[in-house]
Structure 1
Amino acid sequence: MSGDHSKLWPIEKAVSIALLGVVPATLLFSNLVLDNIFALLVVAHFHWGLEACAVDYIRPVIFGPVIPKLAIGLLYAISALTLGSLLYYNHTCIGIGCTFNTLWSIKN
């Protein structure tokens, strides 16, 4: 499971920086394009972070060759399901930005 991640690192940093603008833009100017960009960037950001944790802590030396591959496979499945669910929600319901705005406007 080792490899050269030097090409992915700048992309991860660019996604992190892009989230600084996309999150407030999605909340302020909610539309389908921003909702989809938000969903894609958030899922990618969380996926890469959790993948780094899985690679660092679920090592083949400790767990054998099968469990680390299962963990990474499960992470990919969960990330794909999460992205698919968010995109489905954006296209069939009110979207992520409108949902946050609706929750924010709820009064006691």
Structure 2
Amino acid sequence: MCQEMGLVRVYTKPQGQQPDFTDPVVLSADRGGCLVEDFCNHIHRSLVKDVKYVLVWGTSARHYPQHCGIRHVLQDEDVIQIVKKKEKEGGRGRFKSHSTAPTRISDREKKAPLKT
């Protein structure tokens, strides 16, 4: 019946847990499309901006899990796990500053000289 109506059931999988086969997200090729982008828009509009990549299990994947992008076409009964981008912290690379001290040396407080 799902094939005749053009419906695609997509199941979600939280990271580190088993897939949730009780409540699928139903997409339609006629009303919106069956891309990962459409899946994210169905859940929440702002989710598309935060997607880093997607892991897919099912008939649309070549191997399990397949590392896919936002333009991947989903098929019926696929399982999808969304990996979001990490929040950026201050600093560059591995040299991140976690102190509250001023960044310029001239702005730092002078320490008392050592007693000899």
TM range (shorter): under 0.3
- TM-score, scaled relative to structure 1: 0.24
TM-score (norm 2): 0.23
Q: Look at both structures and tell me which one has the larger radius of gyration over its CA atoms.
A: 2
Higher relative contact order (CA 8 A, sep 6+): 1
Q: Which has the higher helix share?
A: 1
